[in-house]
Amino acid sequence: MTNRLIKRNIDTNSRIFFDFMVYIICERFRSLKDINILFSNDHCMVLNKRAGLPVQGGEGVKTSLDSILSESFNPRPLLVHRLDKETSGLILIARTKEAAASFTSLFSGDKGLRKTYLALCRGIPEKAEGEINYDLETKGRKGKPAPKKAGTFYRLIVKLDLTDIPCSLLELKPGSGRMHQLRRHLALIGHPILGDDKYGDFPLNKKLRKELGLKNLMLHAARLVIQSMPCLPDGLDITAPLPPHFESILPSEQTEQ
């Protein structure tokens, strides 16, 4: 009788352990779906982040890019710059502490690096290309707001009409790296990014959500160019494909470019 009970307990514990391991493996593969690696070497990798995935954890955040990387790679890759949760596109990750130091220095400077974004905005700029120069407040010493110079270059790619509202697809190149710089600059010149729930046109966002199903921030980190450096002897020039929420809105001939 005792042997039967022991065998039953062993079978039960084995089943629990097996079910637990299956759960862990399924969760790992589910997480890896968020890791779309476009480039990788011994020093870094470039990922195409989906919209809606936070880069870092925090209060109320169950899954972040940082946590997925920590669970999926050993040693743990290191973040060197940020993308907003709702921004899709390219993000560079360091694979060593030495590379992290080099890339952090690169992203905090203004030489050797070029980032290009695509944004779908309300309205059409008067000039087909130009520079937006508005100082933006950032947290200064002791948390007090402090204005900082900020510049954003833009170029009109295509005009389009969404539910009888003139809109435009813009190419954006930040000349500085202030928090939410692109979103704030475009809002300041009267062309907020569609789907922006912080600086955007809220009634228009609601209308587009209802009529077109537009639920995402229409901002995409499309291209990353880095000059030759020890971590990248041949430099880097990489482009991320348009995400589904862009393809569903833009004319087909534009998505094929």
Q: How far, in Å, CA of 175 to CA of 114, rounded? A: 9
Question: How far is CA 175 from each of CA 10, 132, 145, 153, 178, rounded to the nearest angstrom?
Answer: 63, 10, 21, 7, 10
DSSP letter (8 states) at residue 79: E
- Catalytic position from the list 66, 84, 196, 201: 84
Radius of gyration of the chain (CA): 22
Alpha carbon 233 to chain centroid, angstroms: 25
165: which strand partners? 162
Question: Cβ-count burial of 230 within 10 angstroms (0-12 exposed, 13-18 middle, 19+ buried)?
Answer: exposed
DSSP 242: P
> How many residues are listed for the chain in this entry?
257
- What is the C-alpha separation between 193 and 199, in angstroms, rounded? 8
DSSP state of 10: H
Is 84 in the active site? yes
Q: For residue 75, say if its preceding peptide bond is cis, omega within 30 degrees of 0.
A: yes
Catalytic sites, residue numbers: 84
